[in-house]
Amino acid sequence: MRLGVLDVGSNTVHLLVVDAHPGARPLPAHSHKAELRLAELLDADGAIGADGVDRLVATIADALQAAEDKGCEDVLPFATSAVREATNADEVLARVRTETGIDLQVLSGPEEARLTFLAARRWFGWSAGKLLVLDIGGGSLEIAYGMDEEPDAAVSLPLGAGRLTAAWLPGDPPDPQDVKALRRHVRAQIARTVGEFARFGRPDHVVATSKTFRQLARIAGAARSADGLYVQRELSRKSLEEWVPKLAAMPISQRAGLPGVPEGRAAQLLAGALVAEGAMDLFGVETLEVCPWALREGVILRRLDHLPTA
């Protein structure tokens, strides 16, 4: 069957169309995305402004038309931290429902972490042993750990690259004192969670998902996206520690010239790097592997698990 998964994230609204069957690997057929940066459109009261809601409704309508054009039998719509934490979330969801017919499922932070963990587990398989999975989105950082398909621990922290950039790094390039303050904030937030995971012992394999980690791995020398899904891509803490001060000194325009960094994501790269560096350091990770599958694939896999088999 052909499914569409509609991801209303903190940075983008992304429709991923896949050909999917229970017991088989979902095959991507089409991708439709638009950058909204909802995490940066919140007003002083934490609400998504009228213009942002208008743009969101129009973008979702465009994505639904794309899903229909591509022959999707069903669309699985969900929203993450930007909508979840907006003070007018109920109003936003009601408008989306009224004007598009779509009932957005708002995932909790731990649900995001669990579904992303499921995707990583399916990608790497049981032989990977105990997994620690890190995911940096626009609005939040998800961390999950476990031996099975359901993690033993899963947390979500308000440490997304878009959120932190808007709140902590106004300069271009940023003021060194702002960078130091953000580094302290990030590490204090992550440190509160380390004990919850430490009691399960060291992971056998550390995995990262999300565009932020893919971009950081790419500028540190990992293979290009064009080289395919099955090329192993790694990121070492040593490389990341070398890149953080370089990124901090660069204006956004210079970051956008780095390999694998699109102009629209360049502003967020430093904040994402500080979160990645802090997580790897505090969890004692020397090297991690980038996983091609993440939250969207987790949503699809969970849906397929609940379909009756022929």
What would the pLDDT profile of 247-265 be if each residue is shown by its tens digit? 999 999 999 999 999 998 9
Same domain, 281 and 150: yes
Beta-sheet strand order (sheet of 12-19): 27-35, 12-19, 2-8, 74-79, 105-106
Closest to 296 in 3D by CA, of 210, 235, 227: 210
Give the relative orientation of helices 176-198 and 161-168 as an angle to the nearest 10 degrees.
Answer: 140
Amino acid identity, position 24: A
Evaluate whether residue 196 is within a structural domain. Answer: yes
Query: Could you read off the pLDDT of 187-243 as tens digits, one per residue?
Result: 999 999 999 999 999 999 999 999 999 999 999 999 998 899 899 999 999 999 999
d(CA 172, CA 123): 38
Evaluate whether residue 300 is within a structural domain. Answer: no
Evaluate whether residue 258 is within a structural domain. Answer: yes
Q: How many residues does the chain have?
A: 310
Which H or E run includes 287? strand 287-290
Confidence of residue 310 (pLDDT cuts 50, 70, 90): low
Confidence of residue 136 (pLDDT cuts 50, 70, 90): very high
Domain that holds residue 80: 2-106
Residue 127 contacts by C-beta under 8 Å, 6 or more apart in sequence?
none
Average pLDDT over residues 113-138: 97
Domain count for the chain, please give it. Answer: 2
Evaluate whether residue 309 is within a structural domain. Answer: no
Neighbours of 24 (CB within 10 A): 9
Query: Could you read off the pLDDT of 27-69 as tens digits, one per residue?
Result: 999 999 998 888 777 787 889 989 899 999 999 999 999 999 9
Q: Which long-range contacts (CB under 8 A, 24 or more apart) does 99-103 make?
A: 99/57, 99/61, 100/57, 100/60, 100/61, 100/64, 101/64, 102/6, 102/60, 102/64, 102/75, 102/77, 103/77
Same domain, 86 and 115: no
By CB atoms closer than 10 A (0-12, 13-18, 19+), residue 170 is exposed
Same domain, 96 and 201: no
Evaluate whether residue 50 is within a structural domain. Answer: yes
pLDDT of residue 283: 98
Closest to 119 in 3D by CA, of 131, 137, 107, 127: 131
Same domain, 174 and 260: yes
- The reported pTM is 0.94
d(CA 31, CA 28): 8
